[in-house]
Amino acid sequence: MKIEKIKNRSILFTRINPAEWNLNIQLIIGNKHNYIVDTGLGSLSIAPILEYIKYMNQDNKPIIAINTHYHWDHIWGNSSLQNSTILAHKLCRDMIDSNWDDMMFHNKHYIEGEAVKYLPNMIFEEEIYYPEDKIRIMYTPGHTIDSISVLDEEDKVLNAGDNIGDTPDEIIPQIDCEKYEYINTLLKYKEMEFDTCISGHNVVLDKQVIDNILKLIKNII
């Protein structure tokens, strides 16, 4: 696993798999909480993050885990954090619940460690804000109808989940909502103050990626 510091208070944990796709989990060390953005493929995805938090003497703060959307590679580590807040969009909770068995049947060979069904225990509809940490979490449909994004206003880092494609050469993701909804999400991103963009699978990019996607997707429509 690659561990990379992003600006002042984000650590990016990346599972490298050149044959398929990389997988990112972001840790934000806040003033009041530690935020874990996505929980990966199971208990072994979460273990190094908890070890890092302890090593950095940050384990006195509660954890808020965030599921950016319902897909299996972003939620299978939830059960390792069941004593923490696990936050998601209200649609995400229902979609995890209804799709769990099918996702396990088709993708169980990807499980790393243990993956036990554990649904988000805190949900929201449009936006939730943690002022002590300057963390804004917003509903941003695109890759899926339940997708959310996380903006670190202090460090000016946006985690767009899978609303960014998987590689620098394929920056348009698969879109499972109306295209106008995804374009509205991209336009919403353009209005935000950030200069660094993290996503579920891609390398770390800058804000220019949003304009690049908009130009490409408008040519497709």
User: Which pLDDT tens digit goes with each residue over 125-184?
Assistant: 999 999 999 999 999 999 999 999 999 999 999 999 999 999 999 999 999 999 999 999
C-alpha distances out from residue 146 to 123, 155, 159, 175, 181, Å: 11, 25, 15, 11, 12
Per-residue model confidence (pLDDT) at position 157: 98
Q: Tens digits of per-residue pLDDT, 13-50?
A: 999 987 789 999 999 999 999 999 999 999 999 999 99
Q: Tens digits of per-residue pLDDT, 72-82?
A: 999 999 999 99
Per-residue model confidence (pLDDT) at position 19: 75
- Owner of token pair 């991103």: 189
Tell me the pLDDT of the chain averaged across its residues: 96
Residue 170, beta-bridge partner list: 167
Per-residue model confidence (pLDDT) at position 220: 62
Per-residue model confidence (pLDDT) at position 170: 94
Per-residue model confidence (pLDDT) at position 202: 97
**Global pTM value:** 0.97
Count of the separate structural domains present in the chain: 1
Average pLDDT estimate for 102-110: 97
Q: What is the CATH number of the domain that holds 158?
A: 3.60.15.10
Per-residue model confidence (pLDDT) at position 50: 98
Domain residues for 156? Answer: 2-220
d(CA 23, CA 15): 5
d(CA 189, CA 151): 10
- Checking if the pLDDT of 221 tops 70, the result is no
